[in-house]
Each structure stands twice: as structure tokens, then as C-alpha cells.
């Protein structure tokens, strides 16, 4: 049997020592990893919501977050939480970040509804639709073909500003498939503005309304689809139209 020299003994001892250190480090990292992944040791104890909101159901949103991210603080995926939150109908924008050691901070910007769209959706100020989730709000009604949301809202805003000068407001606006405009005012008067120059035609109605309001009969509708003049229907006699 050949004996190892002193140098060889030192070399192999060093190799064994190095292997032992490496094994210890690997084992230790696995233990630490398992410890950090353990939800019982490092749970997300607090989900801190901030921002201005009225209609977002915070309790339901927190349950959805915890269900989608059941792991520990270190395993929680901020990007997944962000996508989940921004998919909620009443959330317009959100930001999400972790805060050591056990907190998730979420800032919410709520949708601002300005009108109802085709009975089943809401419109925000940018013409984007979102679901109402059963929340009932007193808002003007806008109707139109799919894809015309922004056009309808822009027209509504322009006519709303014009009518405000005469203390009148819109209860319902309809945009037909051929993009003809119809309004119903909060007073109940219906206006048929047609497709072209609807702002000028609305101004014509505003100019003549003081004369119409002096009549004995209340106005039912006004048809403004004329180059000059208008047609008036009266509440007391549906079959009697007055050409002006």
C-alpha cells in the first residue's frame, strides 16, 4: 500500500473541506428558501388600500387578491396582482408594491362614470365603457351603435355645454346607425337634430325656445332637420304640428 505524502493529505483534506462547505451552503440556502416560502412564517398580513374610491368593493377585491396569491410575502407576484386589480370594472388605474416585512400597498384610481351606455354599461370621461356591477346611478342615458362611444360622448359634451347657457340639460341622447342625433331633455322635450350641423340646429332651438315656451301648449318635440325653420309638436295634440 502506497502512503500519501503530507502534501497529498493536505490537498485532499482541503478538497473535502471545500465540498463540506459547499454542501452546507447548498443545504442552508434550501432551508432558507423553504423558510421564506412558508406562508405561515412570512405571510402577507396586511393589504393596505389607498386612493379615492366610492364604488370599489374593497373587501371583495382583497379576497380575490389573497385567493390568487396564496403564498408568502416573497412569493407574491406584484405584476399578477396589478393585472388582477386593473381588470376590475370600477378600477381605472392602480399601483402595487410590497413593503417589508408583511405588507402589500395598493393605490387605486376609481372610474368616474359620466353617462350610461346602451342601458347595460357605463362611460368614463374618455369614452371607455365598463360594467356597472349592479350599481344604480342617476346619469344621462346615451345610446348608439357599437364603436360610437367616443363620438356619442363628444357630441353629448358639446351639446351639454351649449344647453347650459339656457339652463336646459340632456336626459337621453341617441345616435342612430346613420349617425343622426336625437335628444330628450330633462323637461321631456324631444329634439330631432339629424346628421349634419347638429350644433347649429341645437342653437336654433335655443334661440327660438323662449317664443315656444310662451305658447299655451307645452312643447312635446321639435324637429330641426330643416335648412331653415323647424317643426313643433305640442303635448296636448299629438296630431297637430306647427311649422315655424
* Cβ(148)–Cβ(159) below 8 Å: no
Asked whether residue 35 is domain-assigned, the answer is no
Cα distance between residue 220 and residue 150, in whole Å: 29
Residues 100 and 147 in one domain: no
Q: Which of 110, 141, 159 represents a domain boundary (last residue)?
A: 110
Domain final residue pick, 62, 88, 110: 110
Whether 120 and 239 share a structural domain:
yes
Cα angle: 32, vertex 36, 39; to 5 degrees:
145
Asked if residue 157 and residue 64 are part of one domain, the reply reads no
Q: Does 190 reside within a domain?
A: yes
Residues 130 and 207 reside in one and the same domain: yes
CB neighbour list of residue 181: distance below 8 Å, 6 or more residues apart: 155, 173, 174, 175, 193, 194, 195, 198
Q: In terms of domains, do 138 and 236 share one?
A: yes
**Claim to verify: residue 89 and residue 192 sit in the same structural domain:** no
Domain identity same for 55 and 160: no
Residues spanned by the domain of 53: 46-110
Q: Look at the chain and report how many structural domains it folds into.
A: 2
Q: Are residues 125 and 84 in the same domain?
A: no
H-assigned helices in 38-89? 58-68, 78-86
Q: Is residue 90 part of a domain?
A: yes
Q: Does residue 90 sit in the same domain as residue 137?
A: no
Domain boundary among 87, 110, 133: 110
Per-residue model confidence as pLDDT tens for the chain (244 residues): 555 566 665 666 666 666 666 666 655 555 445 544 444 456 888 999 999 999 999 999 999 999 998 878 888 999 999 999 999 999 999 999 999 888 999 999 999 999 999 989 999 999 999 999 999 999 999 999 999 999 999 999 999 999 998 999 999 999 999 999 999 999 999 999 999 999 999 999 999 999 999 988 999 999 999 988 899 999 875 554 444 4
Does 3 reside within a domain? no
Radius of gyration of the chain (CA): 34
Task: Identify the CATH number of the domain in which residue 167 sits.
Answer: 3.40.50.11690
Q: Tell whether 145 and 237 lie within a shared domain.
A: yes
d(CA 231, CA 14): 104
**Whether residue 134 is found in the same domain as residue 186:** yes
What was the pLDDT predicted at 39? 46
Can the peptide bond before residue 17 be classed as cis, meaning omega within 30 degrees of 0?
no
User: Do residues 119 and 239 share a domain?
Assistant: yes
User: Which pTM value belongs to this model?
Assistant: 0.78
In the prediction, which pLDDT does 71 show?
A: 78
Is 85 a member of any domain?
yes
Amino acid at each position: 500500500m502506497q502512503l500519501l505524502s503530507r502534501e497529498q493529505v493536505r490537498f485532499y483534506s482541503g478538497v473535502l473541506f471545500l465540498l463540506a462547505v459547499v454542501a452546507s451552503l447548498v443545504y442552508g440556502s434550501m432551508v432558507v428558501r423553504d423558510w421564506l416560502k412558508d406562508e405561515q412564517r412570512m405571510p402577507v398580513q396586511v393589504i393596505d388600500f389607498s386612493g379615492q374610491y366610492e364604488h370599489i368593493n374593497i373587501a371583495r377585491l382583497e379576497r380575490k387578491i389573497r385567493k390568487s396569491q396564496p403564498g408568502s410575502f416573497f412569493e407574491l407576484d406584484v405584476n399578477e396582482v396589478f393585472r388582477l386589480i386593473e381588470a376590475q370594472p370600477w378600477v381605472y388605474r392602480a399601483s402595487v408594491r410590497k413593503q417589508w416585512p408583511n405588507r402589500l400597498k395598493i393605490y387605486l384610481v376609481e372610474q368616474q362614470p359620466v353617462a350610461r351606455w346602451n342601458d347595460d354599461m357605463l362611460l368614463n370621461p374618455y369614452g371607455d365603457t365598463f360594467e356597472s356591477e349592479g350599481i344604480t346611478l342617476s346619469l344621462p342615458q346615451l345610446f348608439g351603435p357599437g364603436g360610437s362611444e367616443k363620438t356619442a360622448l363628444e357630441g353629448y359634451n358639446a351639446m351639454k355645454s351649449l344647453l347650459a347657457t339656457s339652463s336646459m340639460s340632456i336626459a337621453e341622447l341617441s345616435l342612430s346607425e346613420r349617425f343622426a342625433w336625437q335628444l330628450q331633455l330633462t323637461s321631456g322635450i324631444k329634439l330631432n337634430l339629424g346628421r349634419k350641423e347638429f350644433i347649429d340646429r341645437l342653437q336654433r332651438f335655443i334661440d327660438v325656445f323662449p317664443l315656444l315656451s310662451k305658447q299655451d301648449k307645452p312643447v312635446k318635440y321639435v324637429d330641426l332637420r330643416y335648412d331653415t325653420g323647424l317643426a313643433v309638436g305640442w303635448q296636448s295634440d299629438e296630431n297637430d304640428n306647427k311649422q315655424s
